[in-house]
């Protein structure tokens, strides 16, 4: 680029936004509630203090956030674990009744790590059942709890009618994701996310469970998110913000978030939409599928854990 030339967005081959749109923003909420601690720390079921911290989401934050979204006249996407729906049916139905998208977020907020495909499929189906029995909805979007996505899961998602996933981190624009390396593999749409656009790291602190104890100021956090939003608008990308009602539904954080949403709405050509709206558009594009293959480790190099194990074996026994 020569000096003085304006910054221009470079879109991936085949990618375009709808006419008049130059970038997009999704405001999403993961309604983890109690399930956010129960899978990894089941002992917290007996800890009223921790459970109350998580219950703040459906009990206090959801009504506040629904009012906020109504004031800003935008629709959001709520990713909801099935267990949350069963425990807080009225909160989930209020989200549905306000016209927001409800998407799948596991059953008990189970991460993919160490799960075999059969286990992953069983959890997916249990999440579907819970959301259907509580709210009568059949989601077509998915976000992996903790964003832990195994290589096997996309094929399972596609088999059960999921059209998009949101959580991979290798792009600024939505893309078509091949569910396996097979040449004729089905595809779903990926709506990429990133830890820097998640409220958990900035705000969440539960002693002994999560966070460092350093809790960010909403002014700083929203300033950081605004920088990324403005830059992604310039790049023609997708701003995917992930908030949790129990975290960002706190008063000052919700107020700061509303300021960010108002800022986004005032940007000319920025499409503020739900995930399913974005995915439905991207599905109409003739995009080459992106194939993710796990790296093959070099056979002639010991990894750090292998080397450590060998040192332990060599050490004289005490």
**Minimum distance of Zn ion from residue 26's CB (angstroms):** 15
**Smallest distance, Å, CB 145 to Zn ion?**
5
Q: Which is nearer to Zn ion, 45 or 227 (CB)?
A: 45
Q: Which residue is nearest to Zn ion (CB)?
A: 30
Minimum CB distance to Zn ion, residue 168 (Å): 15
Binding mask 208-247 for Zn ion (x = CB under 5 A): ----------------------------------------
Complex with Zn ion: residue 30 or 258, whichever CB lies closer: 30
Which three-class secondary structure string do you get for the chain?
Answer: CCCCCCCCCCCCCCCCCCCCCCEEEEEEEECCCCHHHHCCCHHHHHCHHHHHHHHHHHHHHHHHHHHHHHHCCCCCEEEECHHHHHHCHHHHHHHHHCCCEEEECCCCCCCCCCCCHHHHHHHHHHHHHHHHHHHCCCCCEECCHHHCCCCCHHHHHHHCCCCEECCCCCCCCCEEEECCCCCCCCEEEECCCCHHHEHHHHHCCECCCECCCCCCCHHHHHHHHHHHHHHHHHHCCEEEEEECHHHHCCHHHHHHHHHHHHHHHCCCCEEECCHHHHHHHHHCCCCCCECCCCCCCCCCCCCHHHHHHHHHHHCCCC
Could you tell me the smallest distance in angstroms from the CB atom of residue 185 to Zn ion?
Answer: 27
- Of 83 and 175, which CB lies nearer to Zn ion in the complex structure? 83
Show the binding pattern over residues 105-144: x = contacts Zn ion (CB under 5 A), - = does not.
----------------------------------------
Of 23, 32, 68, 82, the residue at the interface with Zn ion (CB under 5 A) is 32
Distance (Å, rounded) from C-alpha 295 to C-alpha 272?
A: 36
Stretch that binds Zn ion, among 27-35, 115-123, 273-281, 306-314 (CB under 5 A): 27-35
Tell me: does residue 30 bind Zn ion (CB under 5 A).
yes
Asked if residue 101 binds Zn ion (CB under 5 A), the reply is: no
165 is a contact residue toward Zn ion (CB under 5 A): no
Give min distance, CB of 101 to Zn ion, in A: 16
Q: Name the residue nearer to Zn ion (CB basis): 17 or 200.
A: 200
Give the interface with Zn ion as residue ranges (CB under 5 A): 30, 32, 145
């Amino acid at each position: 680029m020569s000096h003085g030339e304006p910054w221009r967005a470079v879109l991936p081959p085949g990618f375009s936004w709808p006419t008049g749109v130059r970038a997009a923003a999704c405001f999403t909420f993961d309604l983890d509630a109690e399930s956010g601690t129960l899978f990894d720390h089941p002992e917290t079921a007996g800890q009223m203090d921790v459970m109350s911290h998580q219950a703040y989401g459906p009990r206090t934050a959801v009504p506040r956030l629904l009012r906020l979204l109504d004031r800003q006249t935008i629709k959001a996407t709520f990713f909801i674990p099935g267990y949350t729906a069963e425990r807080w049916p009225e909160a989930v139905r209020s989200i549905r009744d306000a016209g927001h998208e409800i998407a799948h977020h596991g059953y008990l907020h189970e991460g993919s790590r160490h799960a075999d495909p059969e286990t992953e499929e069983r959890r997916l189906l249990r999440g579907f059942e819970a959301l259907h029995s509580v709210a009568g909805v059949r989601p077509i979007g998915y976000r992996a709890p903790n964003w832990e996505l195994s290589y096997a899961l996309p094929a399972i998602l596609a088999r059960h009618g999921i059209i998009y996933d949101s959580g991979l981190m290798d792009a600024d624009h939505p893309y078509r994701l091949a569910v396996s390396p097979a040449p004729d593999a089905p595809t779903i749409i990926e709506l990429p996310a990133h830890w820097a656009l998640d409220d958990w790291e900035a705000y969440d602190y539960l002693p002994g469970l999560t966070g460092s104890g350093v809790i960010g100021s909403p002014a700083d956090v929203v300033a950081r998110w605004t920088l990324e939003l403005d830059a992604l608008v310039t790049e023609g990308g997708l701003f995917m913000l992930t908030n949790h009602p129990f975290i960002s539904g706190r008063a000052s954080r919700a107020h700061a978030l509303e300021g960010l949403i108002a800022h986004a709405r005032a940007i000319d050509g920025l499409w503020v939409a739900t995930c399913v709206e974005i995915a439905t558009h991207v599905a109409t594009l003739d995009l080459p599928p992106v194939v993710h293959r796990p790296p093959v480790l070099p056979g002639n190099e010991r990894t750090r854990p292998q080397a450590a194990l060998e040192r332990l074996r060599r050490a004289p026994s005490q």
